[in-house]
Structure 1
Amino acid sequence: MKFVAITACPTGIAHTYMAAESLEQTAKANGDTIVVETQGSAGSEPLSAADIADADAVIFAADLAVQGRERFAGKPIVEAPVKAAINDAAGLFERAKAAAAEPPAAEPAASAAAAEPELTTKVGEHDRFGSRIRQWLMTGVSYLIPFVAAGGLLIAVSFALGGYKIADAPSVTEHFDAGSLAGWAALMYQIGSVAFKFLVPVLAGFIAFAMADRPAIAPGFVGGAIAVAIGAGFLGGLVAGLFAGAVVLGLKKIRVPKAMRGIMPVVVYPLLGTVVVGVLMYVVVGKPIAIATAGLTHWLNSLSGTSAVLLGALLGLMMAFDMGGPVNKAAYAFAVGGLTTGSAGSLQIMAAVMAAGMVPPLSLALASTVRKKLFTAAERENGRAAWLLGASFITEGAIPFAAADPFRVIPSIMAGSAVTGALSMAFGATLRAPHGGIFVVPLIGNPLLFLVALVAGTLVAAASVVLLKQVRSRSVEETPAVSAHPVNA
């Protein structure tokens, strides 16, 4: 049979493309054909009209609203979360074949609402409130990541070229020496610093966007900018984004004369939303959040000894638990938020989070290399790719292993990441770059001890996986021997 599919995850980085690969491999194994459109952060090549017309059914493996959904009108459609395509692609194909065998349902009549842009999160009317909050926050984080990567890596490069004192260099608009390394370092630092100033407004703006669509962007961005101005930081940005989305959603419920409906989303919602959010941030909640942020920064700076080690272990557990999912992203967002303060404790947290996030793919790559017989051919192939993914701080490289054997793999990698996070904090390793993996080691404070922490956690996780798989392998081998001697009645 012929299928087409669309994959999309909130961040548009790893899960989107891993789901596509899983669908393609399963289709090949089944003797079917499939063409996948990946609606990821790198953009996508749209499915051709011919591919859609020839398809027997359509698979949407997406945690976001599918772009261009109208192209598939009249086709049998199967929808599932993006992880379903990674963990159970065969089940999705069975559902798609069943849907193809049924007569197509009548298409609903087009409505005025259908002409409006779809929300960027796949939140239904009956979704639980907790699920909605998670999707809104993940949308904000997904739009934040490009600014984090651009700004953070530029600042890290500037420190590598000119040292940490480059932060005190005069503005390049007043003095820029194109012939000196220090001049270029200052330029990189100042560009990166400007990019970093967008972090909180972008987070707030796109949380609001996920909640109430485009009319909420302006209130969200302004609320985020106010959070920066009053020192409320990332916590203030989160609150501002949620306030902006809630205010615009409330305004949308007010019935207005038909003649005014055209100007509401362009003028009235952004205007009133910005006023309300601005008043709330400046007058009501901004100062308490700024005090809480200052307290958190002071606490991070004061961490030492056991408390720092325990925090590193906790962050390591979070990074490995769902390998790029909401818990992982929460730990990562916490670390990135600290980078904007520049405090010593925050830089240690960033190093611990990155090291812990590298452990899962590296440990499984090691385990599948040294004990090949415990892994399938597909897992050994994934293991070869996991070396590079782990070295690049792409934790999602461990997902194929966890999907195949979650009860042995996930506890093992959590243990290894906890060890690495704890050791990194104990060693006092620091990091100013929010990404880059092994490629930014020269920018790390105490780089050798950072690598010791990384290797130690990788060995712990790999040894745990091998041990648990050996126990399973032995139990499977012993089962036929027991059944060969039945007890006589």
Structure 2
Amino acid sequence: MTEMITADLVDLELDQSAETKEAAARSLAERMVALGRVSDLDGFLADVAAREAQMPTGLDGGIGIPHCRSAHVTEPTLAFGRSARGIDFGAPDGPADLIFLIAAPAGADDAHLTILSSLARQLMDAEFTTALRSARSAAEAAALISGDAAAAEETGPAAAPETGTGIGTGTGIGTGIGTGIGTSTGTGTGTGTAPETAPETGDGSGADTGAEEPFRIVAVTSCPTGIAHTYMAAESLENAARDAGVEITVETQGSAGFARLDPAVVAAADGVVFAHDVPVRDKDRFAGKPTVDVGVKAGINRPAELIAEVREKAARGETSAPTGGPTSGTSPVDTTGDSGDGYATKLRKWLMSGVSYMVPFVAAGGLLIALGFAIGGWKIDKAPSVAEHFVWTDHTSWAALLFQIGGLAFAFLVPVLAGYIAYGMADRPGLVPGFVGGSVAVTINAGFLGGLAAGLLAGAVVMGIQRVRIPAVLRGIMPVVVIPLISSAVVGFLMFLVVGKPIASLQSALTDWLEGLSGANAIILGVILGLMMCFDLGGPLNKVAYAFAVGGLAHPTDGSLKVMAAVMAAGMVPPLAMALATTVRGRLFTKTERENGKAAWFLGASFITEGAIPFAAADPLRVIPASMAGGAVTGALSMAFDCTLRAPHGGVFVVPLIGQPLLYLVAIAAGVCVTTVVVVLLKGARKAPPGEARAAEEKAAAEEKAGAEEKAGAGAAADIKESATAV
């Protein structure tokens, strides 16, 4: 790690230049820029902010680890800052005084990521952090972090504690020295008595007695970036297991890939701990064992509780379903965040799971249907089946083929929505009853709302079945016979005879309401849809509005086609407006944002609202309100102009399929102009700090000077060439 951090990347008085986490990241990043490790300061900081927005990077114990993978990083780099006052990074126990900024290139290789993971593990050792807090110089701190024991000893005694773990060479700190006292070398195992990882006799801690085998746990840790939290959770769990006299083997599913646990180790395990913020890969390997399923931060902050919990579950005989479905009421979607998520948060995640799997069917089926209309005309839906009548040289037959394939794909919309809502709640066992319930919803014309209800019912029924304790001899047939049979029968009964008919009536009433929309009511609906599409730029509210519009296309009416047109028009506004704003007022945006603006033209034109996310992540308080203003205008105008749309996606490329196409483009243009004006005014009114303003002016002057010199050089070269030609 010595090449990743040097004394120039250490600031032991960070609080003198930074009081917020953003300022701290900027101060440390500027050191990286000075050494040529980061090519674009603002672009890199935007990536850091985007990662921070996913989950706070503050940890218990006064540690902050802002980090990201970025295209603006030229080589893996680590900067360290120490703050006497502390800086808030969102940790439960308060501000952080040790701040590590980790910068990994977008294409970082496994070796570099392994080094970064080594640091993450070191942070779980109290003696390592104590040594850093007492380091007297930047060189000493850099030597401690890099694992350069010799350099650390030369710089001061604080770098080499007399007892406990030492700072290893190349691999960071060691794993412990038992109960003895001695110096640590190499891997840091020391020279004391036997390690504590597998005690031969009981020690009163609740572990098995000497005549019995120790309790064995296998664990999986993972986080969105896969650089820091993944490995910190692993180290924390290993330390807690050692203290409890428990054997543990951890599989870290990080950015560098993962080494799969030995199947024999998994088979011999008495319990499983999942500490993750992204789905566990190959989760079925751990089926049928007592399981604790939490977010990765829980693995870092309360490992002892997790180990105690899995031991209690094992004592009660409480195991997970054979397919990895939980029995304790948790689920793969539950645990993509903290275990403390409320039901509203869980419900949102379940619904988003269904919508995310539904969208590809919508896009493929809807666009094929739209192409069929474009080629064959509006009566193509009356064409006979191509399986019975197809003329190879007739374009109408080809149009009918596209239309009928699209119709079949589109018919999966409600079953897929229901099936994957249930999957989000109860894992794979939820798929069968979810699809069955969704198909019933289609059969009784309960539509999109019926699909939502069927998915939630299926997930709830399966989770209820999984709570029932069954004999071990029957567990093998549960996932393939018992759960699909019982859950499908129950969900089918409920959908056909209990909740399906009322939902179908509500769906019919909603369709009639949309059909009758006109005047002020239609405009108000357009405003609401526009605001929802632009509030979170592809997030849950955006997806709800989009799913509402697409659901109407299953049984298209004039009202539902107007809704689809308003939703797509509003969704195109934010990226197009950001592209225009970076063109007309480029000085208000960073170089990276100006580059993103070029791509945003195409993304916006293609109805990819997410093209505005980089701008919103960097400046949400200005970009999001401006986007909502423009989206509301566009939605209202689209409804007022009676624009219709039969395609669920495509942007400007499906304009021929739009009713009132010229007015539709006017509505989009009006919204884009509104958002552009608002965002330019908001950004222009911002008063930058004196230092930042001066830096911006100097940067602009430097760019202008460089451009002038380049132009002058080009002119001189032309003069020389002209003179040479004359000679």
Is the TM value for this pair above 0.5? Answer: yes
CA distance in 1, matches of 2:75, 2:542: 32
Deviation at 1:477, TM superposition (A): 10
Of 514, 531, 548, 1:300 maps to: 514
Q: What one-letter code is carried by the residue in structure 1 that aligns with 2:640? A: A
Q: Secondary structure at the match of 1:209?
A: helix
Cα drift, residue 31 of structure 1: 3.6
| Alpha-carbon distance, 1:125 to partner | 4.0
Match of 1:422 in 2: 636
SS at match of 2:562: helix
Return the alpha-carbon distance in structure 2 between the equivalents of residues 430 and 104 of structure 1.
59
Report the counterpart of residue 484 of structure 1 in structure 2. none
**Aligned counterpart, 1:40:** none
Partner of 1:139 in structure 2? 353
Between the aligned partners of 1:392 and 1:378, the Cα distance in structure 2 is 21
Counterpart code for 2:420: F
Higher mean C-alpha displacement, 141-150 vs 26-35: 26-35
Structure 1 residue 399, shift from structure 2 partner:
1.1
Q: 1:209 to 1:102 in 2, by over 3 A?
A: closer
Distance 2:118 2:105 in 1: 11
- The superposition leaves residues 395-447 of structure 1 with CA deviations (integer Å, 9 ceiling, x where unpaired) of 11111111111111111110001000110111111111111111111211111
Q: CA deviation at 1:28?
A: 3.9
Residue ranges of structure 1 left out of the alignment (5+ in a row): 3-14, 38-46, 60-72, 86-91, 481-489
Provide the residue aligned with 2:378 in structure 1: 164
Residue 117 of structure 2 corresponds to residue 56 of structure 1: yes
Per-residue displacement from partner, 1:31-89 (whole Å, max 9, x unpaired)? 4664769xxxxxxxxx9876765553699xxxxxxxxxxxxx999x7736xxxx7xxxx
CA contact 1:355–1:420 (8 Å) conserved in 2 = yes
Per-residue deviation, 1:385: 1.3
- 2:223 counterpart of 1:79: yes
Q: Distance in 2 between matches of 1:335 and 1:308?
A: 14
User: Larger radius of gyration, structure 1 or 2?
Assistant: 2
- Identity among equivalent positions (%) equals 56
Change in Cα spacing, 1:171 to 1:399, as seen in structure 2 (3 Å) is same
Q: Establish whether residue 253 from structure 1 lines up as the match of residue 472 from structure 2.
A: no
Residue correspondence of structure 1 range 93-104 to structure 2 within 5 A: none
CA distance 1:269–1:367, shift in 2 (3 Å) = same
- Which position in structure 1 is the counterpart of 2:626? 412
Q: State the secondary structure of the residue aligned to 1:362.
A: helix
How far is 1:123 from its partner? 5.3
CA offsets 1:247-275 (integer angstroms, 9 cap, x no match) = 00000000111100111111111110001
Q: Equivalents in 2 of 1:450, 1:333: separation in Å?
A: 21
Matched, 1:363 2:577: yes
* Match 1:208 to one of 404, 416, 422: 422
SS class of match (1:23)? strand
Aligned equivalent of 1:486: none
**Cα deviations by residue, 1:313-347 (Å, 9 ceiling, x for unpaired):** 11000001000100110000001101111111111
Which residue matches 1:25? 71
- RMSD (CA atoms): 3.3
Q: Secondary structure at the match of 2:645?
A: coil
CA contact (8 A) 1:57 1:96 kept: no
Give the deviation of 1:214 after TM superposition. Answer: 1.0
For 2:378 and 2:71, how far apart are their aligned partners in 1? 48
Contact kept? 2:116, 2:228, Cα under 8 Å: no
Of residues 124-133 and 438-447 in structure 1, the stretch that sits farther from structure 2 once superposed is 124-133
1:438 to 649, 652, 657: 652
Superposition pairs of residues 285-296 of structure 1, within 5 angstroms: 285-296=499-510
Structure 2 distance, partners of 1:248, 1:30, is: 46
Query: Aligned AA for 2:223?
Result: E
The residue identity in structure 2 corresponding to 1:171 is: S
Change (3 A) 1:136 1:168: same
User: Which residue is 1:115 aligned to?
Assistant: 286
Output the CA distance in 1 between the equivalents of 2:592 and 2:234: 29
Decide which structure has greater helix share: 1
Among 586, 595, 609, the alignment partner of 1:372 is: 586
Contact in 1 for aligned 2:373/2:399 (Cα 8 Å): yes
1:263 alignment partner, SS class: helix
Amino acid corresponding to residue 392 of structure 2 in structure 1: A
Q: Which of 227, 244, 251 lines up with 2:441 in the alignment?
A: 227
Instruction: Letter of the 1:144 partner, please give it.
Output: M
Tell me how far apart the structure 2 counterparts of residues 58 and 339 of structure 1 sit (CA, whole Å): 52
**Aligned partners of 2:270 and 2:235: how far apart in 1?**
29
Matched, 1:466 2:527: no
Partners of 1:93 and 1:23 in 2: how far apart?
9
Give the distance between the partners of 1:205 and 1:478, measured in 2 at CA: 52
Contact kept in structure 1, 2:644 and 2:659, CA below 8 Å: yes
| Partner SS, residue 568 of structure 2 | helix
Residue 397 of structure 2 is aligned to residue 183 of structure 1: yes
Code of the aligned partner of 2:117: D
Query: Aligned partners of 1:479, 1:369: CA distance in 2, in Å?
Result: 21
Instruction: State the structure with bigger RCO (CA 8 A, min sep 6), 1 or 2.
Output: 1
